[in-house]
Amino acid sequence: MKKFGVVKTVVLLQAVCMIVLSVAVVVKLSPFGSDPSDLEPGTGNEAHTGNDGGDEAATVGGEPITAGELEAQLLKQYGDTVLRTMMVRKALNLEAGARQLKVTVEEQDRELAAMMEGYENEDEYYRVMKEQLGMEKDDVREDVKYKLLLEQIAMLSVEISDGDVNRYIGEHAELFGDRLQLHLQWIVTKTEKDAGDVLDMLSDGEDFARIARTYSVDDFTADSGGDLGLIDADDPFYDAELLDTASRLQTGEMAGPLKTDGGYAVIRLVERQKTEGLTGKRLMDAARKQLALSKAKPLHDIEDELLLKYDAVKRK
């Protein structure tokens, strides 16, 4: 399966996506964006209304779905979640003001860079956020700001010494060292013979992506030309032999057949990216944050405490 970084952000970002939906239904759904009373009858510009007098959001077989019905359904499905998110953000702003906390642009950029790991580039990341969550770039940055603000508040109650941080780094060296990522394509076949035939075609100059779309049995990647995206060279979710073989390839080289859980694979190395490990102050700050958050209260509990502190009340 093509690896995207959505897993670590999807829960965080879905709430904002829901807010967008909620705001959309507050605005009166006229296809012309004007007051229906200003439109003249008989001109073809009349606002369509459903049987209950509400503006139509859609029609199916001539039967209307009104804006009111859409709003009621959205509120039923997402209302509580959206409202909680909005209330938590209000409380976070109040607490940040009281404690003189803020999130800098540089902090947002660093967090976003970490979230983009596993994507080909920044544009690819934002494209996926748009397609899967309906979020524009500004929406993502805003969500990251509130995430970082909540983490700052959570860490205020935790005391971490430099000695604690150094021990944590020593015990989790793999989290902060150099990192090698491989951008791979693959073609998966049912038999070893089929994989050998595919490798022969590729050796004769056939296009890898076209052969993947034609012959690969991996439904998740066939349509994208067998693209697996960027993968950590020690990713535990991929076969160790496959990754070891890939790490020894030169850019553009292919290898196979390789036995996998889904059959036999032919792989191609598109590129390799090596990231230098953290050092100095950046290393200490990153480790301190991870350690502090591991000892702090769950973030959801922090949210509940803030809502209680600022007398947050839902009104029907």
Q: Encode pLDDT of 14-38 as tens digits.
A: 444 444 444 443 333 333 333 434 4
What pLDDT is attached to residue 256?
Answer: 83
Given a contact cutoff of 8 angstroms between Cβ atoms, the answer to whether 215 and 191 are in contact is: no
In this prediction, residue 118 has a pLDDT band, given cuts at 50, 70 and 90, of low
**Greatest Cα pair distance in the chain:** 79
> 175 or 312, which is more confident?
312
pLDDT at 113 over 70: yes
In this prediction, residue 64 has a pLDDT band, given cuts at 50, 70 and 90, of very high
What pLDDT is attached to residue 117?
Answer: 74
In terms of pTM, does the model score above 0.85?
A: no
What pLDDT is attached to residue 9?
Answer: 39
Q: What is the pLDDT of residues 254-289, one digit of tens each?
A: 998 999 888 999 999 988 877 766 678 888 888 899
Residue 34 main-chain phi, psi, to 5 deg: -135, 170
Report which DSSP code applies to 177.
S
pLDDT at 240 over 90: no
Residue 117 main-chain phi, psi, to 5 deg: -60, 135
Given a contact cutoff of 8 angstroms between Cβ atoms, the answer to whether 160 and 288 are in contact is: yes
pLDDT at 224 over 70: yes
Q: In what helix (H) or strand (E) does residue 143 lie, and over which residues does it extend? A: helix 137-155
Report which DSSP code applies to 209.
H
Q: Cα–Cα distance between 312 and 247 in angstroms, integer?
A: 53
Q: Cα–Cα distance between 231 and 243 in angstroms, integer?
A: 9
Number of DSSP helices (H) and strands (E) in the chain, helices first? 11, 6
Report residue 102 as tokens: 């803020």
Q: Cα–Cα distance between 188 and 264 in angstroms, integer?
A: 5
Mean pLDDT over the full length of the chain? 80
- Write down the residue that tokens 């769950």 correspond to: 298
Residue 51 main-chain phi, psi, to 5 deg: -65, -25
Q: What is the pLDDT of residues 139-154, one digit of tens each?
A: 999 999 999 999 999 9
Report residue 263 as tokens: 């059959």
Q: Cα–Cα distance between 245 and 255 in angstroms, integer?
A: 8
Residue 77 main-chain phi, psi, to 5 deg: -80, -40
pLDDT at 54 over 80: no
**98 Cβ neighbours under 8 A, 6+ residues apart:** none
- In terms of Cα–Cα distance, which of 215, 222, 218 is closest to 198? 215
Q: Cα–Cα distance between 65 and 117 in angstroms, integer?
A: 42
Report residue 224 as tokens: 């994208």
What pLDDT is attached to residue 181?
Answer: 81
Q: Cα–Cα distance between 10 and 21 in angstroms, integer?
A: 16
Given a contact cutoff of 8 angstroms between Cβ atoms, the answer to whether 91 and 98 are in contact is: no
User: Minimum mean pLDDT among 46-50, 58-62, 204-208: which range?
Assistant: 46-50
